[in-house]
Amino acid sequence: AQSVAQPEDQVNVAEGNPLTVKCTYSVSGNPYLFWYVQYPNRGLQFLLKYITGDNLVKGSYGFEAEFNKSQTSFHLKKPSALVSDSALYFCAVRDPNQGGKLIFGQGTELSVKP
């Protein structure tokens, strides 16, 4: 069965420091991987995706993610965190053999302090 794990419920980072939000997945075949951000009282905003190609994917707001097939991971990164990055982040996987539905991780709350 497909699954996504975000091992950290919360990540705390000082402004200006690099940040990493971890995600590991389990899916048969070649997964499509996504990161979304949810600000308070808002819907989900698409950040980036990996389908194929370069393992390092660049997305919105300076975020990037690295696909590692051997470790079945897709960690979200940003070189220099901003206070405005504070939000809830979701990793999700899509098995292209099972339509377009997404399986989500439980979410990671990112808190960036000045």
Q: How far is the CB of 39 from another protein (least distance, A)?
A: 11
DSSP β-bridge partners for residue 26: 3
Structure tokens at 39: 């600000």
Q: Considering only 15-23, 67-75, 77-85, 92-100, which stretch makes contact with another protein by CB under 8 A?
A: 92-100
Q: Is the dihedral of CA 70, 71, 75, 77 positive or negative?
A: negative
Rounded distance between C-alpha atoms, residue 114 and residue 105, angstroms:
28
- Which of 3, 71 has the CB closer to another protein? 3
Which residues in this chain contact another protein in the complex, by CB under 8 A?
32, 34, 36, 41-46, 49, 51, 90, 92, 94, 96, 99-102, 104-107
